[in-house]
Structure 1
């Protein structure tokens, strides 16, 4: 049994993304509508996800485009306000993701009671956001300093919009990441949010580290969820739950329910005949 059962309540878990709208300081923040509107839209999406039956929710500043790798204080403060206002309405386990800043994700988790974070913890990349470096040793020491030892760390090892500076095969990355860092999970992604995770890459990662939780991190939809969940231990789902399946839209509860009905059918014990 993996930690998914203990923390999220089920194996083959589906973690749904609650994408926050642009926040103060972001280029696309709507100053006229302000933070009250951000909170209200997050509330709407949260309830659509929960009522649709997801196993867990992860709050992220998805529309803070273009992303920073050293996130500003005002972003974390705004995310803390949103989650704080919604805390009494959150009925499923939840995590946070401050894109793309691992230490600030931990800060937000410690402040809000989040159970997990997803981040780029390791590696050096050539990315759309410039040369992207990490410091996992400092990050996990920061986790200890702020009393967030209980927070599960989901390591994204195929970063979106980025490529390792040094060519390394995915099996080597997976094995060395597990050996050196003891991640709670590895996340395997496509090129961007909503892009399908390559099933062959997903299988190569899982075969390389069979005792580690591996999650399909992007592009899981109704037409591929059985294929993806047969290989992976769970999935992070965002775009597939949106109106018309478009990244920029809000959550469609009917789409969530249809997806989760399929997942629950897949998870039912198979009866031998």
Structure 2
């Protein structure tokens, strides 16, 4: 079955590498001495390593804006737009954006920078590490149209990190109702936090009830788990494994990117 993935990516089962931006202006850990120049240099290093390693796409996020906001300050998306504007000509693969955790600002950033897709929490109410987390998917969908973002693909986190769905519905019901009511372009299935393994049985349930909607394995992808995950997932998003020593806080390691992409090509 042909999906929008076939139009965006030239391969089946694409692997999207994460470009984790350092803390941005306004974030608690922002490096004022290094400033925006240091953030841009870091992003350039990350996308160079990811592309040389052979990833099929890149997702740019403000991963180190901890602790996250569910309604971000304007400076966050503005800073990310500056970074992407500086490196845009060097991006040779399809890319997406993720302003953690603000769906509206993520769409704005995608429209402004030409990103092909957005990953976010678009639907549901959660008890999370960031407090009670609410969404308004109908309003967000209309905002996408209002800012001429109809071509931006929306990847819904169906099992959000660091959060639990408030309603007492099982995953199969949640998947079916999300697909029917919200018409996502993709469903992302995650572990507890960045880098945490995604349970294969969870992937299987989502895939069985997602219909024609592509399913992404969103965390914990490793060479030894990739083949099993890709039995059910249509694509993978990789961040932590690509880092030096597999540590979330480290820079991307070209050798680790090449290792995983070699496995990815063998299982397609």
TM-score, normalised to structure 1's length?
0.97
Match for residue 156 of structure 2? Answer: 155
* Pairing 1:41-190 to 2, within 5 Å after superposition: 41-190=42-191
1:166 to partner: Cα distance: 1.6
How far apart, CA to CA, are the structure 2 residues paired with 1:115 and 1:37?
Answer: 26
The superposition leaves residues 81-118 of structure 1 with CA deviations (integer Å, 9 ceiling, x where unpaired) of 00000001000000000000000000000100000000
Q: Secondary structure at the match of 1:231?
A: coil
1:46 to partner: Cα distance: 0.5
Runs of 4+ in structure 1 off by over 6 angstroms are none
The superposition leaves residues 128-163 of structure 1 with CA deviations (integer Å, 9 ceiling, x where unpaired) of 000000000000000000000000000001010000
Match for residue 11 of structure 2? Answer: 10
Residues 14 and 237, structure 1, Cα contact 8 Å, conserved in 2: yes
1:200 to partner: Cα distance: 0.2
Match for residue 193 of structure 1? Answer: 194
Q: Secondary structure at the match of 2:23?
A: coil
1:2 to partner: Cα distance: 2.0
1:174 to partner: Cα distance: 0.4
Residues 16 and 54, structure 1, Cα contact 8 Å, conserved in 2: yes
Match for residue 37 of structure 1? Answer: 38
How far apart, CA to CA, are the structure 2 residues paired with 1:2 and 1:12?
Answer: 12
Q: Report how many aligned residue pairs link the two structures.
A: 267
How far apart, CA to CA, are the structure 2 residues paired with 1:223 and 1:202?
Answer: 16
1:210 to partner: Cα distance: 3.4
Root-mean-square deviation (Å): 0.7
How far apart, CA to CA, are the structure 1 residues paired with 2:144 and 2:46?
Answer: 29
Residues 2 and 11, structure 1, Cα contact 8 Å, conserved in 2: no
Find out whether 1:225 has 2:233 as its counterpart. no
1:5 to partner: Cα distance: 1.5
Segments of structure 2 that go 5 or more residues without pairing to the other structure are none
Find out whether 1:243 has 2:258 as its counterpart. no
1:9 to partner: Cα distance: 1.8
1:16 to partner: Cα distance: 0.8
1:10 to partner: Cα distance: 1.8
Match for residue 202 of structure 1? Answer: 203
Match for residue 257 of structure 2? Answer: 256
Q: Secondary structure at the match of 2:216?
A: strand
